[in-house]
Every structure is written in structure tokens, then in C-alpha cells.
Structure 1
Amino acid sequence: MAETTTDTRTATAARADDLHRAYGRGGATVQALRGVSVAFTPGTFTAVMGPSGSGKTTLLHCLAGMDRPTRGTVRWGDTEVSRLPERKLAELRRTRVGFVFQAFNLMPAMTVAQNVELPGRLAGARPDRGQVLDALARVGLAGRERHRPGQLSGGQQQRVAIARALVSRPGVLFADEPTGALDRATGHEILTLLRAGVDRDGRTCVMVTHDPVAAGYADRVLLLADGLLVDELVRPTAAQVAERLGRLGG
């Protein structure tokens, strides 16, 4: 595949340039990423796929500022974040990007509203009740703010996690296997919600998934293998994704 190129005159929500990430030392060194360059246009939905160990989750974590690249740069808009001091990076991360995990990571003793407020409280910020209620309404959970996670279905708990990621109104949402712990029907609901956030709100969404059906909701699919970006599919069907992924051994 030809190297993915980006016109620097075109605005990007997030981008990586010549991204490398190595773990370990000496003979035990593992090269998780080996020079990945990719850009994400505002208001688009991208799925990242590849075989186990291909580097897809490492790429997502580096893009989201949750891991530091060994070499290369990460930018959110015009801001390079890969070399920022941890405190400044954490401040930007709270306002510029959101992250959704496969495990919902909710606090069972807290209400839904308190879970959504939690990142702000941990940062020493006073939560805006209106923003919390608006985030819950946007994910279809209006009126559930006083429930506890144990009173909700798995899909509803993931909606709470998405509301928590969106409460600061970030421009970019990163999602790591957001439907991996859900059944097919519930996963469809979550993917429809993520798609609506792109189409309705102009948000940029970057999602790691192993599921070709999930990838079919995206505008494009990036395929990684051995730490390299090896292919890119635009508006593919689930069948096309499965066929190409199968050739990679995924």
C-alpha cells in the first residue's frame, strides 16, 4: 500500500506523523508501531482494525494521549501533544478528547449522574449539572440520572460511559472495542449512537474494533499489521472488511 499522505492545508481533528512505539529493551524490545502516519478529518468516523498484536490499540492510546510515542508526533488540531508535560496533557485531554473503553469502568456505588461528573470532579472542576443532563439526554438516558449502574442493562451502562466521555463536549472521541462486551443488537444501538454523533454533531470518532459489522458503520477502515498501516478502505461493506482482514490473518 502507498503511504497515507495528508495535505497540511486541510484541517485535521487529530493526526499522527511517523509514529513509532517500542516496549522493552535490548533483545526483548517489541516494536508495536513502526512509522504510522495518518490524519483524521473533522466530522468523520474511522475504524482501526488488524490481527492481534498489530498495534491498533497502541495507535489509539497514542492518538488519545494515553501513551507516549517513542518517536514521531501526535497533534490535536494545530496542537502537538506528544511532547507536552503530563499535567498540561491531562488538562487538554479532559477538554479536547473523550475515551470509551470496552469495559464500562463505572463506579457501582455512584449514580449515573455522579459517574458522568466524576472526571471533572477528579480534576478539581465543579460539574455543570446542565451539561451532565444534556450528555445523558444525547445518549438516550434522560431521566436515568439517579439510577445506579447495577440497575441498567449493559447497553445502557455503555451509554453512561459515552455520556461521561462527551460531557466536556470534546471534538474527538476515541473508542476501544466499545461493543466488545455487548450482544449484537445492543452493539448496533451503540454504533448507531456513535454514528449519530458524527453526522449530527460533527464529532470525529476513531474506533478500534475486531468486528467487520461494526467497521461497516465507519466512513473508512484502517488496517494495521505488524505495527504498519497496510491498507485503507473507504465506505466498505462488512463483507469487504472481513475479506481483507482475513487476508491479514485477523
Structure 2
Amino acid sequence: MNGKTTAAAPGGPATQDAVSTTALSGDGLHREYGRGTAVVRALRGVSVAFAPGTFTAVMGPSGSGKTTLLHCLAGMDRPTRGTVRWGGTEVSGLPERRLAELRRTRMGFVFQAFNLMPAMTVAQNVELPGRLAGQPPGRARVREALARVGLAGRERHRPGQLSGGQQQRVAIARALVARPEVLFADEPTGALDRATGHDILGLLREGVDVDGQTCVMVTHDPVAAGYADRVLLLADGLLVDELVSPTADQVGARLSRMGG
């Protein structure tokens, strides 16, 4: 494994030094849904920090808060309490329009369900976030991104003409085309066969090792987590453990003890 990521102690606050030197951090994150006796506490004071050029997997049993944490860190959901910073910029309190602008230029997001527009071509899907931001990436960069994920010559195809693995590659090209500082991935191999999943994980790993990106991935698969520099383990909305340079067997054993 390459790289080493720093994190606050499970449940503890991120230090000021960590905030100033990390690519991404969350400090004291709470996320609650509902009110009164029906309230659901998805996150309960999670503090994490991610160094530039590192790959972190977030894991835990169903309902542990891992996807909620990813969405809060990515600016797609707002924490009830706590702060999120991308580098030195606090984003958790920004107006929605400004936050959307930053999402389109500084981060990429890979969804399990691909989230491609079926009526658009592959090239149009890749360039869509840039067009929405008023900064279309240009044909050369789109072709470069598609070639990198093994889809050179597929620019004019539509998603329905591609396999599931190819559609996920389009989603990764779309996330990479703006050359974001941080790449988030939510179960990126969950709908794929094992061989295709390995290819997708290799692309994420390459972005870290070659481009110096910071990658944060939610996964339920110990084999996928084995591609990461570290694994953060959540349970009941709390950060309960961390594994550095993990193997798939180590991750699987730890999840089994957690009931995941």
C-alpha cells in the first residue's frame, strides 16, 4: 500500500494543525434525522482527517453511518452540528450555490448506481458537471479521461450500449475530468462482478498514486478495502476503530467481530 493517512482519534476532535495540513477533514460531525422520539442519530460526533494523496475506505455494519459520513464530507448533506473543511475552506456553512460551485471544481463523486443520463452520449455525460459549472472541460480533456479508464473510441455511445463495468468507468471519467483534489466513491464496485471491480479499484488507486488525489470510499467488501491505505470502521454513528495498511483478511475478521 502507498501513502499514510492521518486521522483524529476515534470520537476525538481534529487538531488545528491537522485542519491546516489535510486535504479534507470533519470535526465533531453529528447528523440527525427527524425529531423527538423519532429522531435518528446517524452520526454522533465523528472527527476524521485525510492527508493529500491517500486512499481511505469507510466501513461498518448496515446503519453504522458510513454513507451519511461520506455525504457530509462531500458537501452533499449538511451535518446537524460540526464542521467540514476542504483544505483550509470550511464548507459546512456555505450557501448552497457557493457549495455547489466548489463541489464541481474541487471534488468528484462516483455513485454505485452510476447516475448517467441515458439520453446523452458518453462524452456528454463526462462533460456535464463542467457545463453546469460554466466551465466545460473541452473535447481533448474528455477524450483523455475516457482513454484513461479504457473507453477510448466510445465517446458517441450511450450508456444503454455499455456494460455495467463500462458505465462505472464513465462515471469515474466524469469524476476525474475536472482533476479534483478529492474523489469520493460510494460502493463503486457493489454492482459489478469481481474482475470488473478489481479494474475499477485499480483506477481509484491510480488516481491516488499517480495524480496525488485523496480518495474516500465507502464499501462493504474487505477485498475492496484492501486497496486502501487505511480503513475507518463505524458503528452506531461512531468512529470505533482504524486499520492502517490493511489486508482483506484483517478487514474481514474485524468486521466479523463487529457483526458487519
1:64 is matched with 74
Is residue 2:203 matched to residue 1:182? Answer: no
Quote the Cα distance in structure 2 between the aligned partners of 1:139 and 1:133: 10
Report what 1:13 is aligned to: 23
State the distance in 1 between where 2:15 and 2:90 align.
Answer: 17
Distance 1:2 1:120, change over 3 A: closer
**Letter paired with 2:144:** D
Backbone CA RMSD of aligned residues:
1.4
Aligned to 2:219: 209
Q: Any stretches of 5+ residues in structure 2 without a counterpart?
A: 1-8
Structure-2-length-normalised TM-score: 0.93
The alpha-carbon deviation at position 50 of structure 1 amounts to 0.3
> Unaligned regions of 5+ residues in structure 1, if any?
none
Instruction: Return the letter of the residue paired with 1:31.
Output: R
- Indicate the residue corresponding to 1:92 in structure 2: 102
Aligned residues: 250
Measured after TM superposition, the shift of residue 124 of structure 1 is 3.8
Q: CA–CA distance in 2 between the matches of 1:2 and 1:200?
A: 30
Of the three residues 145, 156, 177, the one matched with 2:155 is 145
Correspondence 1:1-250 to 2 at 5 A: 3=11, 6=14, 8-10=16-18, 11-250=21-260
Distance 1:154 1:32 in 2: 31
Quote how far apart the aligned CAs of 1:152 are. Answer: 1.6
State the TM-score, normalizing by the size of structure 1.
0.96
1:9: Cα distance to partner? Answer: 3.0
| Overall identity of the aligned pairs, in % | 82
In 2, the alpha carbon distance for the partners of 1:39 and 1:75 equals: 9
Distance, in Å, in 1 between the alignment partners of 2:66 and 2:239 is 9
> Once structures 1 and 2 are overlaid, which stretch shifts more, 210-219 or 102-111?
102-111
